[in-house]
């Protein structure tokens, strides 16, 4: 099928994959779960078709073993799962997301990845701003997702697609119907747009305009989680730039300063957290997270080694998730901490494997960022600025993982798989460079 092999078709579809993964809630709010399911199925099917037709390099040494181990363990957990039906759904969705991520990681060059991710983020931010303007100026009241009937009961704030308060300064939810998610996407956009602008892959005028929009959307969401993630990304960027200026044998001061910063920053965060939460309009219990963490920890201790079985998003219709995390009428479907969620679902064994996946990817991302090979492994353009992108994206995901479990599902998992695979391939190719 020649159309599948056209680079324009591949890039266009890749943009759509990124958009659908990052803004999945947009499709669910617009078309309902059945419509979203049909669209997701089409995305996965075309991803598999592209992998078959384009025949990317699947060389074993260039594929992260920890990713295979985690997927294998999640699949194997069907044997001991406490909720087999829910686990079958969760494992299937995990593999489906992984297949789409593999299409992105294996079938696109690094320049194409950066280009398509940036395009998807521009669509999300632009549509979010237009959507919020329409709701605030013309609708003038909160808007619920389509195809959902909440009856006559009071609807919790978090159920609304948009509360229509853009003109009051927010916080806004955008097309993704969640200010924390929109804020995180804005942070990712700021990173991507800044890298593109610094690398000269976009015009300076438009690059600055899109970067300004990303910062504006970041501020309008007023998300404490994203504020923490943005701080972490900034600190890591400064250390990476410092490390770049020193030879490998002269980086001990960088690592000592980084360790000291983590220690001082951790203590400082504990001290200023109450004031920060008050400034951002958050409650002292981290919007109910402390209660959720206590409940999840108690449950995980009942099956500490192998966990209850993989399910990704919690299935609220089965035990032990039914009624596990309910706050003000809202049923939460995650532990709001990825590490607790992995422990709950896959036990200590899962934590070990997940830690190996994350930190091996972080290790590769760091050295690919600071050592800067003379040329990129996938393209012929200089590597310098874009080599920072995997590190900064992964740091943002890790910071978010302390308060959200999104790194395990949908956009978070897709980005993690893309980063794990691409950094492994880049590392392998760099090692063969003269």
Q: What is the pLDDT of residues 26-45, one digit of tens each?
A: 999 999 989 999 999 999 99
Share of the chain above pLDDT 90, in %: 64
Query: What integer is the mean pLDDT of 164-168?
Result: 90
Q: How many domains does the chain have?
A: 1
Distance CA 232, CA 69 (A): 28
Query: What integer is the mean pLDDT of 94-115?
Result: 95
Residues in the chain: 434
Distance CA 306, CA 327 (A): 28
Is the confidence at residue 318, as pLDDT, over 70? yes
Three-class SS of 254-285: HHHHHHHHHHHHHHHHHHHHHHHHHHCCCCCC
Dihedral, CA atoms, 239, 241, 246, 248, nearest 10 degrees? 70
Is the confidence at residue 251, as pLDDT, over 90? no
Is the confidence at residue 383, as pLDDT, over 90? no
In DSSP terms, 162 is beta-bridged to: 143
Closest to 188 (Cα-Cα) out of 416, 383, 434: 416
Query: What integer is the mean pLDDT of 326-352?
Result: 91
Is the confidence at residue 377, as pLDDT, over 90? no
Closest to 39 (Cα-Cα) out of 23, 56, 55, 52: 23
Predicted local confidence at residue 434, as pLDDT: 44
Closest to 161 (Cα-Cα) out of 152, 153, 172, 170: 172
Q: What is the pLDDT of residues 269-285, one digit of tens each?
A: 667 666 555 655 555 55
Share of the chain above pLDDT 70, in %: 88
Predicted local confidence at residue 277, as pLDDT: 59
Distances (CA, A) of 129 to 123, 124, 174, 210, 215: 10, 9, 7, 12, 12
How many C-beta atoms lie closer than 10 Å to residue 159's C-beta?
15
When the pLDDT of each residue in the chain is averaged and rounded to a whole number, the result is 88
In DSSP terms, 143 is beta-bridged to: 162
Domain that holds residue 95: 2-431
Q: Is there a contact between 340 and 293 (Cβ–Cβ < 8 Å)?
A: yes
Predicted local confidence at residue 148, as pLDDT: 74
Confidence tier at 68 by pLDDT (50, 70, 90): very high
Is the confidence at residue 371, as pLDDT, over 60? yes
Predicted local confidence at residue 274, as pLDDT: 62
Distance CA 312, CA 400 (A): 16
Predicted local confidence at residue 270, as pLDDT: 66
Is the confidence at residue 373, as pLDDT, over 60? no
In sequence order, what are the residues at sequence separation of 6 or more whose Cβ sits closer than 8 angstroms to the Cβ of residue 352? none
User: For residue 48, which phi and psi values (nearest 5 degrees)?
Assistant: -65, -40
**What DSSP character marks residue 176?**
G
Confidence tier at 382 by pLDDT (50, 70, 90): very low
Predicted local confidence at residue 328, as pLDDT: 72
**Secondary element (H or E) of residue 327:** strand 326-327
Is the confidence at residue 86, as pLDDT, over 60? yes
Predicted local confidence at residue 155, as pLDDT: 78
Burial annotation 361-372 (CB, 10 A radius, 16+ → b, else e): bbebbbbbbbeb
Q: What share of the chain is helix, strand, coil (3-state, %, to 5)?
A: 70, 0, 25
Is the confidence at residue 290, as pLDDT, over 70? yes
The least confident of 24-28, 112-116, 267-271, 315-319 is 267-271
Supply angle C-alpha 275, 233, 161, rounded to 5.
70
Predicted local confidence at residue 282, as pLDDT: 58
Is the confidence at residue 23, as pLDDT, over 90? yes
Q: Is there a contact between 143 and 132 (Cβ–Cβ < 8 Å)?
A: no
Distance CA 45, CA 68 (A): 21
How many C-beta atoms lie closer than 10 Å to residue 72's C-beta?
11
Is the confidence at residue 375, as pLDDT, over 50? no
Predicted local confidence at residue 287, as pLDDT: 63
In sequence order, what are the residues at sequence separation of 6 or more whose Cβ sits closer than 8 angstroms to the Cβ of residue 149? none
Predicted local confidence at residue 29, as pLDDT: 92
Predicted local confidence at residue 152, as pLDDT: 55
Q: Is there a contact between 11 and 108 (Cβ–Cβ < 8 Å)?
A: yes
Is the confidence at residue 2, as pLDDT, over 80? no
């Amino acid at each position: 099928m020649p159309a599948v092999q056209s680079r324009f078709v591949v890039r266009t579809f890749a943009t759509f994959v990124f958009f659908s993964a990052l803004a999945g809630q947009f499709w669910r709010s617009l078309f309902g779960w059945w419509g979203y399911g049909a669209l997701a199925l089409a995305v996965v099917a075309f991803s598999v078709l592209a992998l078959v037709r384009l025949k990317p390099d699947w060389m074993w040494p260039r594929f992260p073993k920890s990713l295979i181990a985690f997927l294998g363990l999640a699949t194997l957990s069907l044997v001991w799962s406490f909720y087999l039906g829910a686990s079958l759904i969760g494992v299937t969705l995990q593999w489906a997301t992984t297949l789409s991520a593999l299409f992105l990681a294996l079938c696109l060059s690094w320049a194409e990845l950066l280009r398509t991710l940036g395009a998807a983020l521009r669509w999300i931010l632009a549509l979010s701003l237009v959507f919020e303007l329409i709701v605030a100026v013309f609708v003038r009241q909160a808007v619920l997702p389509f195809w959902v009937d909440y009856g006559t009961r009071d609807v919790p704030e978090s159920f609304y697609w948009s509360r229509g308060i853009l003109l009051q300064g927010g916080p806004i939810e955008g097309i993704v119907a969640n200010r924390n998610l929109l804020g995180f996407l804005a942070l990712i956009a700021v990173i991507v747009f800044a890298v593109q602008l610094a690398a000269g892959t976009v015009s300076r005028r438009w690059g600055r305009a899109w970067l300004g929009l990303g910062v504006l959307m970041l501020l309008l969401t007023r998300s404490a989680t994203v504020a923490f993630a943005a701080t972490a990304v900034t600190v890591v960027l400064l250390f990476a730039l410092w490390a770049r200026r020193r030879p490998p044998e002269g980086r001990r001061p960088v690592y000592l300063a980084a360790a000291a910063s983590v220690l001082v920053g951790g203590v400082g965060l504990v001290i200023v957290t109450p004031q920060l939460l008050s400034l951002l309009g958050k409650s002292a219990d981290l919007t109910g997270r402390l209660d959720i963490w206590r409940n999840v920890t108690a449950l995980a201790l009942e099956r500490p080694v192998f966990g209850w079985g993989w399910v990704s998003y919690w299935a609220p219709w089965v035990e032990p998730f039914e009624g596990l995390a309910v706050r003000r009428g809202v049923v939460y479907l995650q532990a709001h901490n990825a590490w607790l969620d992995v422990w709950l679902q896959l036990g200590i064994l899962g934590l070990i494997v997940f830690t190996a996946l994350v930190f091996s990817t972080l290790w590769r991302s760091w050295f690919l960022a600071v050592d800067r090979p003379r040329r990129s492994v996938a393209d012929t353009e200089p590597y310098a600025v874009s080599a920072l992108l995997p590190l900064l994206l992964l740091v943002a995901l890790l910071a978010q993982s302390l308060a959200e479990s999104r790194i395990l599902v949908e956009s978070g998992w897709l980005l993690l798989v893309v980063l794990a695979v691409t950094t492994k391939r880049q590392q392998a190719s760099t090692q063969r460079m003269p």
